[in-house]
A and B are shown apart, each in its own frame.
Chain A
Amino acid sequence: MPGAEAGRIQPLRTLAVCCEGFAALASGRGTAVPLAVLSGNRVVSVTPGARLEGVRPGMRKREAESMCPMLELVAADPERDARAFEKVMAALEQLAPRWEVTSPGRCSVPSRGPARFFGGEAAVAGKVLEAVRSAIGGLARKDPTGPASHPPAVGVSVVDGPWAAAVLAERAARAAGSVPSHLLRGAPGSSTGNPGGTPIVVVPPGAAARHLGGLPTAALMQGGGSWGPAEDREHLVEVLERLGLHTLGRYANLEPSDVLSRFGRLGLRAHDMARGAESSLLCPSERPGDLEVSTVFDPPATTVEQVAFMARSSAVQMQAGLAERGLVCTRVLVSVRTAGGDRIDRLWRDEGALDPSGVAQRTRWQLEGWVTRNAASRECPPGTDGDPADRDGAAPDPGVASLLLRADQAIPHQGDQLGLWSRPGKTPERVEKGVARLDAMLGPGRVTSPRLGGGRSPAERHDKRPFGVEGPDGGEPAAPWPGAPPSPQPTLVWRDPQPLGLFDREGAPVAVNGRGLVSAPPAVCTDLSGRPEEVLSWAGPWCIDERWWDPLGQRRRARIQVLLGSGAHLVTLEHGQWRLEATYD
């Protein structure tokens, strides 16, 4: 066995950072506030304050609310998380270059260089932990009342191999963030791991297998899945569990040849990881040479949207270059140079492979993080991050001068198994290409995918966002929205409702009083040109007093449905003026 190992490439010594519940912290409400981030009615991330109340990721919304009635709920927003994480990354970049972001809250770096510089792996891990904690503390500064007893759960690990590092960092973060059971209000027995466990794990070289051996097989699902599609990994874990291989150690004890014949390449990959020998399978062509695409903006681009749009088309170009060599990119370097001379570099890794829209999205995250950081440091010049020397001039953003994308790491393309006709939920390539072409013709923001939103007016109930961009939902469309027009919904919703006149039999304008009653039945409706039309029938008014507590967002309206000879309409009264809001065409 040792003989076989000798010929292999040594696993890459990696330092990984994991901030448990980063999405909840990114909302900026502080650690003590019980807050949960929801995605699809499930809790995906909680603050330490919510954890103390017994709220856990994976719970349903209702379950979480029953645990903690004053729980604040926030919709998941990857862009907000990415923006917030940029602050953490800015702090980390002062310690070491070449950080790689797996997802907001998780990042890693090859540890050999920094360890030599700072004099030891434990020392660099300590510094990293310190930097992350203070950066996260900065996120929650808006809430100075937060007691210090809710430290954010951060874990740092230094292990052989990126996957092992990510998994151990995640476990360390969980252990550091776990609440002592006597403090738990919810389920008393649910506290796992050692409370207040050490947030730093440094495993000596070659000892990764021992540390991983005790972990349950389900740990294969953790640590970012750059090694296989999620459903395949899930299937593998399920099979291993059913075969009685409950820990990674037992799986690691199998013969590699047996594993290969029984579980295939994915199984072998997992087996290597369980043995702490993961990078032996990494493709040696780590940097595919000259595969980079750079774009110069002249004049400098001033909006994030503009740069993201270019990133998309550059990524298409890069992908074409990779495809010629039969490679797919798993890690991409996005390097943005501003007209002011700043440079923002970031490595982005993705499970599976990065497609053009993924690259565009990450460029957007990176830039938005930089923009908000810039704005923040301009607001308070004696800021904590960056070099205030060139930022406190309160100069407007000079804009982005150039963008460089480089396929930093690539693996051979194994091919995608497509469905016989079409896979549901997957955009056909033809549509993707067409949208990119239309984007190029019309400029960004004109090609959108419509979706439903929540709200009480027809215009609020749908929403368009640029094609391929994920974001938070506007509101729950299915939630009860008292005051919303009843079904069937109007087919034409005017964006800029035009004024019209509504009169009763005597020719007096129809008004709605404070009790929600019309002054007289409407009989005649006139449009701007003054052409009258008889009101055949009508119903309402439906009065809505929205956000009365908010002086800026407050709206007070009354709606009625009118049926004219030419069609049925929804007309709205606001500030004493009737307007045509929507039409039932």
Chain B
Amino acid sequence: MTEAVSPAGAGQDTRNLRRGTGSAELEAIIGDTAPRGHQGFLPLVDALAPLVPGGALRPGSSLHVTGAAGATTVALGIVAGPCRAGGWLGCVGFPQLGWEAATELGLPLGNVVDVELTAPSSSSPSSSFSSGQGDPSGTRGSAAASVLAAMVDAFDIVLCGPAVPLGDAMLGRLRARARERGVVLVGVTPAMGRSSTRWSRCDVELKVRNTRWNGLGQGWGTLSERRITVEVSGRGVLARPRVHELILETPLLSGRGSGPVLRRAGGTPEVADATGGSGPREWLGRAV
């Protein structure tokens, strides 16, 4: 569509011109409606775009988000971008996910389907802060694998929480299926939960190094600004790990509503609309 018009001749000029503008208009439409990037790449929100090459997730790739507290936030930020571009998210094995926080990070809930593998009772944290939750008691092993296979067929991006019990071989097969279908798999291991799946050898590995909170004092203030340091490693360009700092801040005094702002340190902040699907589609830029 973008190739230059070739033939000469006065008679054809106008037609070519019209064709030229037509394709430009068409591209503008594509730019509005189709996912950014090309060949089905799933665009990330601007704040997270520098984390991966091209600012978009390659279809069929797999990601793993882990590390210190903050992994869930990063994972929600990652899946928000493709969903905002019209993709459908299937979330599995993550019964304790706070959907309001997801909305604040820009995830439109209209494009989200949540699948529960386990009976609701086993979703609480176990006795210890750091060792996470007990073993999922309901669906296990191969049953979970067939559920995940069905999800890979249905959605554009699948978010796997800590309750997904998959063996290494199963995970390998699932990845092959996702690669074939062009579906992005995102595995999350929050600091508070030991994942039942060992997510190894992912295309992109996001590791939260540390997270710092501001705004909370000794009996005053609220948790408001957090800085998350993420180390990104993986294959290809990402073979050499890189460290990024993300800032999630709540504008206490700005008139921008209650939505927190996710931005990269040093970058321009972006406001996630707290209403999700019904709000403005674009993130509103705001100077620091």
Contacts and interface: CB of A to CB of B under 8 A. Distances in A.
Interface of A: 419-422, 424-425, 428, 430-431, 433-435, 437-438, 441-442, 446-452, 458, 461-462, 464, 467, 477-478, 486-498, 518, 521, 527-529, 531, 533, 537-540, 561, 563-564, 566-568, 580, 582-585
Given A462-B99, A518-B219, A538-B219, A442 B116 contact: yes
B258 A539 contact: no
Contact of B97 (A421, A447, A493, A564): A493
A528 B128 contact: yes
A496 B153 contact: no
A491 B150 contact: no
Given A420-B33, A421-B86, A563-B223, A488 B112 contact: no
B218 A527 contact: no
Contact of A492 (B72, B139, B222, B258): B72
Contacts of A489: 98, 100-101, 104
B73 interface: yes
Contacts of A537: 213, 216-218, 221
B71 interface: yes
Contact of A494 (B110, B114, B125, B127): B125
B259 interface: yes
A487 B97 contact: no
B269 interface: no
Residue of B121, B123, B223 most packed against chain A (CB within 10 A): B223
Given A431-B88, A489-B104, A490-B98, A451 B109 contact: yes
Contact of B116 (A437, A446, A490): A446
Interface in B191-232: 191-192, 211, 213, 216-224, 226
Contacts of B12: none
B223 A584 contact: yes
B99 A451 contact: yes
Contacts of A491: 72-73, 76, 97-98, 101-102
Top 3 nearest A-B pairs (CB, nearest first) are: A434-B154, A567-B69, A528-B127
Given A488-B104, A498-B124, 14 more contacts: A420-B29, A421-B86, A425-B110, A430-B153, A433-B154, A435-B113, A447-B115, A447-B116, A448-B116, A449-B110, A450-B109, A462-B99, A487-B258, A498-B125
A585 B193 CA distance: 11
A487 B103 CA distance: 11
A582 B274 CA distance: 19
28 contacts: A419-B33, A425-B110, A434-B90, A435-B154, A441-B147, A441-B150, A446-B116, A447-B115, A448-B116, A486-B250, A486-B258, A487-B258, A488-B101, A489-B100, A492-B192, A495-B120, A518-B219, A521-B219, A528-B126, A528-B127, A539-B216, A561-B216, A564-B129, A567-B68, A567-B129, A583-B69, A584-B69, A584-B223
Nearest to A497: B124
Contacts of A580: 125
B96 interface: yes
Describe B's contact surface by its main secondary structure: mixed
A425 B278 CA distance: 11
B113 A431 contact: yes
Contact of A582 (B98, B139, B211, B248): B98
Contact of B222 (A419, A452, A493, A539): A539
Given A446-B116, A449-B114, A585 B216 contact: no
B192 A567 contact: yes
A9 B170 CA distance: 63
B16 interface: no
Interface in B82-106: 86, 88, 90, 95-104
A487 B124 contact: no
B113 A448 contact: yes
B213 A585 contact: no
B250 A488 contact: yes
B190 interface: yes
B188 to A, nearest CB: 9
